[in-house]
Chains A and B, each alone.
Chain A
């Protein structure tokens, strides 16, 4: 197991390094002047000072080494090009608190409701609860998230005026964004769980449990759920990526000051240092989440470890 974890961590670090390097060089290969928006009308001398301040007068390789050094030793990602004096790292940390809360809520709700719906659908196979749940699941997969968010906003905020349209700070502000953000996860988990449960239900040990006289409730909880829930862990990784990208859209629609909406703003501003920093941050989060998923899966399913050894 230790060997497995070390190997995984090694791959993660390599992946991260490659992502950072590629992001950095790609962003620096964009033709044009990154400071064009503010340095256009400035005298030559001040322009030069600006370039010096951001280290843009040096060759790209030197900038890269400096960037890596600052990132590793101090966790420093530089300064925003758009808003001088604003540290990228601080901005990310500040905004990611908001996004983190929203994301965590969405993941927890997505997994719980998705699993429950999936089990219910499987237990009522080919009856109306099954059809209803699968219809919701299909909507969640086929309708873009911003349309779902708009419909939620329209019905709960504009028509019935139960919840606020936009804003952040109170619990009621998080309800609609969380639902919208978790909709995709609910759909994916419900579909996945349904097929898992259907597979488990036909196993002999379920028949044995029934023959022993275990109550139906206990069969579901102890025998079906435990066995069907295992593979669900594997799709947590992609779901987290979905939550990230979903948050870009959701935070904008609901006016939430999170990292996602800030990322889109910096893209539209062409704030290069901010884009590099945020991309690296997102990639790191995602890669770490994937690592945890892999290790978790290795712990709960011994077969994975065995097949890794064979390689």
Chain B
């Protein structure tokens, strides 16, 4: 039997310096989030589709060579063809240009709506949680009352009053009570954070309140906010669709996905393709934002990690 020579063995000492060394590169919170999101195929696919949709709403109206409000009585209600990729509507307007132009309006409504409700909601919820006690009770009662009115009823009422002809007044009616959910959520999160040990530790170490807010509270609310924004955007697009359908939405010559779909709905039996494209865009946007929101929630919430 062959013996293993002793020279083949070597004694290695434990290097205490080595044990303190960080083996892998340090990863910050946002890098970690991005890494997690990247591994979620559904969320990344949604993100890619969304980027394409947003990109198309920016350049799409100029691609087909037709203006979105150009009326052509010679070709009314045409099927999708080489000339008009998505067909034409009852006034002979090119649906391809219209769908992307409408998408721009819908996206603007969705994104500004979500941002407004995020900002207002965070401030309201933050104040409420910060002051606590009676102020908190009263502020939250107000939110409770506002939430207990059906949302679309409020939107309809305000639309009638402001006679929503422009995007601005429509945003007011859509966001007037839309921020309540965010406010509630931010307050809940803030209250939870306030009682955490590391906040206490920071206070005990003499960190200034402003720095606690900037360094600990806001970043920790940011994750729930991002998720709620990604769920709010399709919500606002959906509400606008509803408003357009009942005749209180975007007015011609301007248009939105909701306005396009509700106009096409009347001719649906004869020209189904007119409804198909705006409906597809609404559904696709809703779906991708929702799936992206799901993915973001999983990626952003450290508690969900194994």
Interface residues of A (CB under 8 A from B): 11, 14-15, 18-19, 23, 26-27, 29-30, 138-139, 141-144, 146-147, 150, 153-154, 158, 241, 244-245, 248-249, 253, 264, 267-268, 270, 275, 279, 282-283, 286-287, 290
Provided the pairs A27-B161, A143-B283, A147-B265 are in contact, do residues A286 and B148 lie with their beta carbons within 8 angstroms?
yes
10 CB < 8 A contacts A-B: A18-B145, A26-B161, A27-B160, A143-B286, A147-B261, A147-B265, A241-B151, A241-B152, A287-B148, A290-B148
Interface: B287 (CB within 8 A): yes
Q: Write out the residue numbers on chain A whose beta carbons fall within 8 Å of the beta carbon of B150.
A: 241, 244-245, 282-283, 286
Residue contact A248 to B246, C-beta cutoff 8 Å: yes
Question: A82: shortest Cβ distance to chain B, in Å?
Answer: 14
Q: A154 touching B269 by the CB < 8 A rule?
A: yes
Q: Given the known A-B contacts A154-B272, A282-B150, A286-B149, are A267 and B287 also in contact in the complex, defined by CB atoms under 8 Å?
A: no
Classify the secondary structure of B's interface with A.
helix
Cβ A142 vs Cβ B160 within 8 A: no
A96 shortest CB reach to chain B, Å: 15
- The residue on A at minimum CB distance from B287 is A142
B212 on interface, CB distance cutoff 8 Å:
no
A interface: dominant SS: helix
Q: Output the nearest chain A residue to B278 by Cβ-Cβ distance.
A: A147
Tell whether, in the assembled complex, residue B246 and residue A150 are in contact, meaning their CB atoms are under 8 Å apart.
Answer: no
Across the interface, which residues of B come within 8 angstroms of A147, CB to CB? 261, 265, 275, 279, 282
CB contacts (< 8 Å) of A241 on chain B: these are 150-152
**CB-based closest 4 A-B pairs:** A142-B286, A241-B150, A245-B152, A150-B268
Contact of A141 among B245, B247, B286 (CB under 8 A): B286
Query: Smallest CB–CB gap between A24 and chain B, Å?
Result: 11
Cα distance, A138 to B290, chains bound together (Å): 10
Given contacts A15-B145, A18-B145, contact A141 B261 (CB under 8 A): no
A11 touches B144 (CB 8 A): yes
A174 to B267, CA, bound (A): 23
Q: A144 with B161: in contact, given A138-B287, A241-B151, A244-B150 (CB under 8 Å)? A: no
CA distance A264 to B243 in the complex (A): 11
A153: chain B residues within 8 A (beta carbon): 268-269
Query: How many angstroms from the CA of A241 to the CA of B234 in the assembled complex?
Result: 18
Chain A hits for B12, CB < 8 A: none
Cα distance, A268 to B241, chains bound together (Å)? 17
Report whether A144 and B258 are in contact in the complex, using a CB–CB cutoff of 8 Å: yes
Q: Report the minimum CB–CB distance from A260 to chain B (whole Å).
A: 10
Q: A142-B234, A143-B286 are in contact. List 4 more A-B contacts (CB 8 A).
A: A30-B163, A147-B261, A147-B282, A150-B265
Chain B, residue nearest A285 (CB): B150
Let me know if B290 and A279 touch, CB within 8 A.
no
- Chain B min CB distance to A180 (Å): 12
Q: Are B149 and A14 in contact (CB under 8 A)?
A: no
- Whether A144 contacts B275 by the Cβ 8 Å rule is no
Residue in B156, B234, B272 with the greatest tally of chain A CB atoms within 10 Å: B156
Chain B residues with Cβ under 8 A from A279's Cβ? 153, 156-157
B238 within 8 A of A: yes
Q: B157 touching A26 by the CB < 8 A rule?
A: yes
User: Given A15-B145, A26-B157, A286-B149, is A144 in contact with B279 using a C-beta cutoff of 8 Å?
Assistant: yes
Looking at A245, A282, A286, the one whose CB has the most chain B CB atoms below 10 A away is A245
Q: For residue B242, which residues in chain A have a CB less than 8 angstroms away from its CB?
A: 144, 245, 249
Please measure, in the bound complex, the distance between the C-alpha atom of A279 and the C-alpha atom of B160, giving whole angstroms: 12
Which residues of B have CB within 8 Å of A282?
Answer: 150, 153
Partner of A267, one of B151, B160, B269, B282: B160
The answer to whether the Cβ of B128 comes within 8 Å of any Cβ in the partner chain is: no
B248 beta carbon closer than 8 Å to chain A: yes
Query: What is the 8 Å Cβ interface bit string for chain B, positions 244-284, against chain A (1 contact, 0 not)?
Result: 01111000000000100110010011001001000100110
Output the nearest chain B residue to A27 by Cβ-Cβ distance: B161
CA A248 to CA B248, docked complex, whole Å: 13
Chain B residues 64 to 115 lying within 8 A of chain A, measured CB to CB, are: none
Is there contact, CB below 8 Å, between B261 and A146? yes
Bound complex: CA A282 to CA B149 (Å):
9
Chain B window 127-164, contacts with chain A (Cβ cutoff 8 Å), 1 for yes, 0 for no: 00000000000000000110011111100111011010
CB pair B238–A144 under 8 Å, yes or no, is yes
Residue in contact with A264 in the complex, picked from B151, B246, B275, CB distance below 8 Å = B246
Contacts of B246 in A (CB 8 A): 248-249, 264, 267
Decide: A150 and B275 in contact? CB cutoff 8 A: yes
Chain A residues contacting B268 (CB-CB under 8 Å) are: 150, 153-154
**Contact yes or no, A146 B265, CB < 8 A:** yes
Give, as a whole number of angstroms, the nearest-CB distance from B137 to chain A. 9
Question: In the complex the two chains form, what is the Cα distance from A286 to B149 in whole Å?
Answer: 7
Give Cα A175–Cα B241 distance, bound, in whole angstroms: 25
Complex-state Cα separation, A279 to B157, whole angstroms: 8
Q: Which residue of B lies closest to A29 (CB)?
A: B161
- Which residues in A have their C-beta under 8 angstroms from that of B157? 23, 26-27, 275, 279
Closest B residue to A18 by beta carbon equals B145
Quick one: which of B44-72 are within 8 Å of A by CB? none
In the complex, what residue of chain A is closest to B246 when comparing beta carbons?
A: A264
Select one of A146, A270, A275 contacting B245, CB under 8 A: A146
Nearest chain B residue, comparing its CB with the CB of A237: B148
